[in-house]
Copies of this chain bind each other. A is one copy, B any other.
Amino acid sequence: MTITVHHLNNSRSQRILWLLEELSVDYELVSYQRDPQTNLAPPELKQAHPLGKSPIIEDDGRSTSESGAIIEYLCARHGGNSWVPDSGSPEWIDHLEWMQFGESSFFIPVMMKLMAGRLGDAAAPIMPRIEEQLEAHVMFAEEAISEDLHFVGSDWTAADVMMSFPAEIAMMHGFSSRAPKLARFVAAIHDRPAWKRARERSGPYFMW
């Protein structure tokens, strides 16, 4: 059965398409476009999920939301066992941490900066703290990624899929010279044939 992916342009959903291509899983793409004025997801997404969030996948009669849950699910159910370390191994603990960090800790300062940006000068009292937190989170990931550009062990894992979006966000916030490993990580991902196939199907993705 084909998986359906509810995909929002320029969003965290892009990495789900990349993973599906890596796993050679058939999928049908239902595309949504951000509102050009507000940059928010369109209301139609609420038909796929009450919170109007993307990504959502439908498989085997049920919908699943939350990037981390979707990535774990796809690896377990669709031939991605090698993308998740064995339960109980030291790498498995690293994997658990990055699967959470990539959506929880990291996105607090990113979303704060986005919202504060809408307030312009009015956000000045909180901006230094937001900038400091964003930098701290990017540099924490930069310190942690290995010289051979993986977050867990020495090969591609689900943690790298999860962290691809935070790393891309770091590049868009101008961290390429201060976070050179993350910059090379993003370049290595975008050079993968599976990523290119996903990009071809989904259309434009930020600056890439």
Interface residues of A (CB under 8 A from B): 50-51, 53, 62, 64-69, 72-73, 76-77, 87-88, 90, 93, 96-97, 99-101, 103-105, 107-108, 111-112, 115-116, 118-119, 122-123, 125-126, 130, 136-137, 140, 143
Contacts and interface: CB of A to CB of B under 8 A. Distances in A.
B96 A66 contact: yes
Q: Is the interface of A mostly helix, strand, loop or mixed?
A: helix
30 contacts: A50-B136, A50-B140, A53-B105, A62-B93, A64-B97, A66-B96, A66-B97, A66-B100, A66-B104, A66-B105, A67-B100, A68-B96, A68-B100, A69-B96, A69-B99, A77-B88, A100-B103, A103-B103, A104-B104, A104-B107, A111-B111, A111-B112, A112-B112, A112-B115, A118-B125, A118-B126, A119-B119, A119-B123, A119-B126, A122-B122
Contacts of A123: 119, 122
Contacts of A118: 125-126
Given A69-B96, A93-B73, A104 B103 contact: yes
A108 B104 CA distance: 8
A107 B119 CA distance: 20
